[in-house]
Amino acid sequence: MSQFDALTGWVAAGVFGVAIASALVNRWRLSAGLSFSMGWFRAHNWLGAVAAAAGIAHCLASVTRSTLPAGEEIGIWAGAAAVGLLVLTAFAGSGLSGAKRDARPRIRRNHVATMFAVLAVGILHTALNGPLSGR
């Protein structure tokens, strides 16, 4: 794995985490009786787009045709699934602003559920192929 591969993977993961945190800031603001912040909302949108782009770059840069042990191969497929889910959650999130009011709760649920799926398979990918995987 090259430094570009590793860098794009960690950028995708880090920016994804910050995107989640920026959405949680707005949730906290609303629960505290404060107003919704368009600044945090725009940051969430841009961070999500950057995370998706970095995930795609990591996926494309990391792909090789070499044969891997079973655990690492499963990790590669988990990573590819994480990138696919990351793109899906970005599309779901980008559709929220223009959606009809009655469709927003369903789209938001799908957006959040897909985010949790990205976290789960991303953690699996990191465990099987990351720096602590023992390879």
Per-residue model confidence as pLDDT tens digits over 4-17: 988 999 999 999 99
Q: Where are the domains of the chain?
A: 3-129
**pLDDT band for position 135 (50/70/90)?**
low
The b/e string for 35-64 (b: 16+ C-beta within 10 A; e otherwise) is eeeeebbebbbebbebbbbbbbbbbebbee
- Residue 65, pLDDT score: 65
What would the mean pLDDT of 71-84 be, rounded to a whole number? 91
- Asked if residue 99 has pLDDT above 80, the reply is yes
- Residue 73, pLDDT score: 87
**pLDDT band for position 69 (50/70/90)?**
confident
- Residue 70, pLDDT score: 87
- Asked if residue 64 has pLDDT above 80, the reply is no
Composition of the chain by helix, strand, coil, percent to 5: 80, 0, 20
